[in-house]
Amino acid sequence: MAARVEIYTWRFCPFCIRAKALLDKKSVAYTEYPIDGDNEARDAMSARAEGRRSVPQIFIDDRPIGGCDDLYALERQGQLDALLAA
């Protein structure tokens, strides 16, 4: 069974677009939460993301991964596929 992936985004955020591009390239299904200008949604995201307020914020099976750079770092280190397959 594939991992559950969630990503909080802003519509025109280049880092959000880049993170989704990597997930799309890997054919990963994900749930996107666009939070443009929604402070309540951003607060909820921040509570899940260990206080981080920047977007994107990515979660794999409820585990906070971080942002775009963190996602790409996992890919470079060869660890992303294992997380996605869990």
Annotated domain spans of the chain: 1-9+36-86
Name the pTM for this structure: 0.94
pLDDT tens for each residue of the chain, 86 residues long: 789 999 999 999 999 999 999 999 999 999 999 999 999 999 999 999 999 999 999 999 999 999 999 999 999 999 999 999 97
Token pair, residue 40, equals: 């309540």
The CATH number assigned to the domain with range 1-9+36-86 reads: 3.40.30.10
Whether residue 30 contacts residue 14, with contact meaning beta carbons closer than 8 Å, is answered with no
